[in-house]
Amino acid sequence: MSENLSRFFALPQLFGIVGPLIAALLIPIIGFWPFFAVAVIGMILSYLPLAGVDDKEISVKLNFSRAWERLKRQKLLFVFEGLDNILEESEWFWGIYVYLLIGSLSTPGIISSLQQLGGVVFTLLVGKFAKRNAKRMIPLAAMTLILLYLLRLFITGAIPAYIVATVASFVMTLFLVSYFTTIFKTIKGDDEVEFVILREIPTVLGRMVVFGTIYLVISNLRLFFIMPLVFAGLLLGLYYWKNKQLAA
């Protein structure tokens, strides 16, 4: 499962390296809106490979009471999903923040490509290690993310921002592959499709936390990175507490 997940994460990153670099070079020349139109067309075309997928065997009988019971039964798992999404969305905001910090239209493209490049190289390697060591890798990645969020509070230049973006792509890959390997092994054989549907609830709540924090600190966006730092610490604490309970 971990090796399959690593490929699943790596392939989109592989194709995502070139696009941001092209955008970084051409947006200052021809403008944003032509690229926005290309992105819309690309999203429509991305449906074509999925059109032939047979989903007739997937059947989920879900209602409010059943959903509520599942949420209560695996409440800590859904809390982890919310925390994970907060960290993921915070990484997305980093490219925008650096653009506002440096003021170059090329910056988001460069940041995005560095994140993708670091991720695709590292992802395939992580899959092999996560196969046996996923649970050990999660706290290591979470602690490193906390350090990176702390560093982001003090970054003011382009070169340090690019370095942190590259390192963060490695660490985030380490975290996501090991985290999802653990999660999917936990729910395997326990109405997986139902879980995937219900996980959208903490996912959306996590995004609301991120976007809400951006609005709260809009006058001083540097303070935003205190939020994922705190939630990464919370995730780490809950993870150790849960493992301690299982060990007892």
**Helix locations, the chain, DSSP H:** 2-15, 18-30, 32-45, 48-51, 64-73, 75-102, 107-152, 158-187, 192-198, 200-216, 226-247
Tell me the CATH number at 22.
1.20.1250.20
Distance CA 104, CA 122 (A): 28
Q: Is residue 225 part of a domain?
A: yes
Q: Is residue 58 part of a domain?
A: no
Residue 1 has pLDDT above 60, yes or no: no
Task: State the pLDDT at residue 170.
Answer: 78
Q: Is residue 56 part of a domain?
A: no
Q: For the chain, what is the domain count?
A: 1
- 226 confidence band (pLDDT: 50, 70, 90): very high
Residues 6+ apart with CB under 8 A from 18: 113
Q: Is residue 57 part of a domain?
A: no
Average pLDDT for 148-176: 83
Give the pTM. 0.74
Task: State the pLDDT at residue 167.
Answer: 82
Express each pLDDT in 156-169 by its tens digit: 887 888 888 878 87
Average pLDDT for 36-65: 77
Q: Is residue 145 part of a domain?
A: yes
Q: Is residue 29 part of a domain?
A: yes
Residue 233 has pLDDT above 70, yes or no: yes
Domain that residue 68 falls in: 2-51+63-247
Express each pLDDT in 85-144 by its tens digit: 999 888 888 878 887 877 766 666 666 666 666 556 556 566 566 566 667 778 888 898
- 13 confidence band (pLDDT: 50, 70, 90): low
Q: Is residue 151 part of a domain?
A: yes
